[in-house]
Amino acid sequence: MDYSVRGAWWSGETVAVVTGANRGIGHALAARLAEHGLTVVLTARDGARGEAAATPLRARGLAVVVRHLDVSDAASVADFAAWLRDDVGGLDILVNNAAVSFNEIDTNSVEHAETVLRTNFYGAKMLTEALLPLFRQSPATSRILNISSQLGLLNKVSNPSLKALLQDEDRLTEAAIESMVARFLAQVKDGTWAEPGQGWPKVWTDYSVSKLALNAYSRLLARRLQAHGERVSVNCFCPGFTRTDMTKGWGKRTAEEVADVGARLALLPPGELPTGTFFKWCTPQLYSKL
Ligand code: NDP
């Protein structure tokens, strides 16, 4: 598959919302989408940090609008959705990028598991559901790109019944995904999450469970939208190990390199745009290999 950006279907009227765009991958992706000529809504949970991140982009003449958005806060999500509906009139692309991890590269504490799940999974889901009615049903198809991680792939789960549930597209429901998350958080509370047999991912477990849930939700949502004939695609993108604050500067690639590929995926020509796909870097993964 050729991932170069070509055959532009978009214009300056095309609106892309990027969450957690004041730094790291989100910021680089917001800049790249604006460089391609879209109008970008750069969102940040801290207004001042958002403004500081947008100022140099605007100074280059890029169409960047800043808006406050804390994806883990229901009131903030509702305010944002109302503003997007009333003042902007809708959106074409949503990049769910905002996320947290509190672990060092080689540690695995679950002390902040609630915040991690509330931000990385519930936050992305809450925002997506709030914005779904606002996507333009354009012939080019609107797009949701969830920045996820291969740490949340099924091959990281060793509990056979959990794996079977997540693999069974017909049995899997949003309620089942949420109950998996609730079970993990309950085990964190009672200290049993790491017992043999629980079978959760072994690396950055709370973060991995958040991405496992995000990946499963993305697949379900893609099916749901397709079944209802909605012109909105839903795909996940794992950028790989990237040098940002999240990795304390470790990694094999820069946020700008990630932004090149992320923007290409977000801007794929309508005829080549899949839905329900997990991209590991720029390679779509076979479901059986997840
Ligand atoms: P960073 O830690 O550099 O940036 C995270 C961004 O998310 C910040 O802008 C942060 O805002 C924002 N954020 C955190 N919580 C919230 C919230 N509640 N509401 C709104 N924004 C919030 O991370 P990266 O750039 O590395 O990560 C970006 C995405 O890429 C994430 O989804 C991550 O899981 C994913 N990823 C990263 C990899 C890597 O190696 N770096 C590998 C695989 C996936 P603030 O500045 O206010 O804290």
- Cβ pair 25, 247 in contact under 8 A: no
- Cβ pair 49, 73 in contact under 8 A: no
**Residue 89: pLDDT over 90:** yes
Mean pLDDT of 198-204: 97
Q: Give me ligand 1 centre to Cα 100, in Å.
A: 5
Q: 129-157: per-residue pLDDT in tens?
A: 999 999 998 888 999 999 999 999 999 99
Q: Which residues does ligand 1 sit against, CB inside 6 Å?
A: 19-20, 22-26, 45-46, 49, 69-72, 97-100, 119, 123, 147, 149, 238-239, 241-242, 244-247, 251
Q: 205-249: per-residue pLDDT in tens?
A: 999 999 999 999 999 999 999 999 999 999 999 999 999 999 999
- Helix ranges restricted to H, 240-288: 255-266
Q: Identify the pLDDT of residue 290.
A: 63
Mean pLDDT of 91-108: 97
Catalytic member of 122, 207, 217, 287: 207
Q: Identify the pLDDT of residue 6.
A: 62
Q: Give me ligand 1 centre to Cα 120, in Å.
A: 9
Closest CA to 273 of 108, 79, 97, 139: 139
- Cβ pair 92, 138 in contact under 8 A: yes
DSSP 83-144: HIIIII--BSEEEE--------TT----TTHHHHHIIIIIIHHHHHHHHGGGB---TT-EEE
Q: Give me ligand 1 centre to Cα 98, in Å.
A: 5
**118: which strand partners?**
none
Closest C-alpha to ligand 1, atom 21: 20
Q: Identify the pLDDT of residue 196.
A: 87
Active site residue 207: yes
Q: Identify the pLDDT of residue 1.
A: 43
- The lowest-confidence range among 46-55, 93-102, 163-172, 264-273 is 163-172
pTM of the predicted protein model: 0.97
Angle at 47 between CA 242 and CA 14, to 5 degrees: 70
